[in-house]
Amino acid sequence: MKVKPRIVVSRCLGFENCRYNGQMITDSFVDQLKDYVEIITVCPEVEIGLGVPRAPIRVLKISNDYVLYQPETKRDLTKEMTEYCKNFVEKTTEIDGFILKNRSPSCGVGDVKIYSDYSETLLPKRESGFFGRIVRDNFHSSVVEDEGRLRNLKIREDFLIKLFAFANFRKVRNEKNMGSLVEYHSHHKLLFLAYNQYRYRLCGKIVGNLEKLSIEQVLSDYEKELSKLLSGHIKIGSMINSLQHAFGGVSEDLKVEERKYFLDSLDEYRDERIALSVITHLLMSYAVRFEKEYLAKQVLLNPFPLELTTASRTGRDSNIS
C-alpha cells in the first residue's frame, strides 16, 4: 500500500547556497531520504527578493502581531512574507511532511528567537518563524519537524512513521474507494493504537459509516480524525502494549529461548537502549517465518523503509515519551 511521500524541505539543507551568509548545510538525513521521497525545496527569504548573502532578519511580536524586520536596512518585510506564505498555502497540495531549518526566522518551527520591539529585547519564549508558523497552522495532514530535532533517533522514527502513514492515506483519499480505506485502517491498527486508542476507535466508527455518508464525506471525516490521532507522540507504554499484542500472535510457535530473547529486547526498548525498528524487524521475521499473514500486513512492523533507521541517537527530547 505504501506510496512515495512528498515532502517540503528548506533549500539550504543540501540543495543550494542560500542561507543569509551564503552557505549551505549538509544534512545526512535529508540525503538519506532522497531515494525514498519526492522533495520540493523552499527558501522563503529568497522567494521574497532577499539576496544571497543578505543581512539577517528577525521576528518581532508587538501587541500580539508578528513583524518580520531586517535591522541593518530597517526594512519591514511582513507584507512580502505574509503574501508569499498565503500563496504557498493556496498552491501547494498533496504534501505529507516538512523538514525545515531550525531557528530560522522564516522556516523555524518552534525554536526561533522572538523580539518584543525593534531593539535587542528578547521575549522569554521561543516560537515558530513566519513560514514555519503558517505551515503548522495550515498543513494538519502533514508531519512538520526541524532538522535539528531530527538528529534524535526517537524523534526521527516518529517523523518517519507519521510521514509514511500520511502518504499512504493520501493514496487512499485519491482512490476514493471504501475498500481501500477499510484496508488502510485495518493494517494500521496496532500502530494507531500505540498513538491514541480513543482516536483509533473514533476512526473505526467513521470507517463503519453507519450513517451511509458519501465516500468523499467519510474520507474527509477520517482525515480530520487521523490528523488528531497523529498529532501526538507515541508513549513507550502504549507502544509496548501493541508490540506485546503482535508478539502474542507468534509466541506459541517460538522456542523458550526465542521468547526470552524477544522479551529481553522489549525491556531494552523500554529503557531506550535500542530503537523501535529493532523490535519491529524481529517481529516481522517471526510473521514471515510462521506465515502469519495478518501480522505481516500490520504497518507497525514495517512503518517505513528499514534503510532509513541508520542513525545514532544524539539526545532525548522531553516532548517524546
- CB of 148 closer than 8 Å to CB of 103: yes
Statement: residue 317 has pLDDT above 60: no
What pLDDT score was predicted for residue 310?
62
Considering the entire predicted model, what is its pTM?
Answer: 0.92
pLDDT digit string (tens) for 273-296? Answer: 888 889 999 999 999 999 999 999
The residue-averaged pLDDT of 90-118 equals: 96
As a whole number of Å, the CA-based R_g of the chain is: 22
- CB of 236 closer than 8 Å to CB of 321: yes
The residue-averaged pLDDT of 212-232 equals: 97
What pLDDT score was predicted for residue 309?
73
Q: The C-alpha cell of 232 is what? A: 501526538
Statement: residue 321 has pLDDT above 60: no
The residue-averaged pLDDT of 92-99 equals: 97
What pLDDT score was predicted for residue 120?
87
Pairing of strands 38-42, 65-70: unpaired
Statement: residue 315 has pLDDT above 60: no
DSSP state, residue 78: H
What pLDDT score was predicted for residue 2?
66
Q: What is the dihedral of CA 15, 16, 19, 20, to 10 degrees?
A: -170
Q: CA 73, CA 2: separation in Å to the nearest integer?
A: 49
Q: The C-alpha cell of 77 is what? A: 518585510
Statement: residue 314 has pLDDT above 50: no
Mean pLDDT for the chain overall = 93
The residue-averaged pLDDT of 60-76 equals: 95
Residue carrying the nine cell digits 505504501? 2
pLDDT digit string (tens) for 38-57? Answer: 999 999 999 999 999 999 99
- CB of 128 closer than 8 Å to CB of 139: no
> What separation, in Å, do the N-terminal and C-terminal C-alpha atoms of the chain show?
29
Statement: residue 108 has pLDDT above 90: yes
The residue-averaged pLDDT of 142-162 equals: 93
Q: The C-alpha cell of 68 is what? A: 518580520
Confidence category of residue 308, pLDDT binned at 50, 70, 90? confident
Q: The C-alpha cell of 245 is what? A: 499484542
pLDDT digit string (tens) for 17-42? Answer: 999 999 999 999 999 999 999 999 99
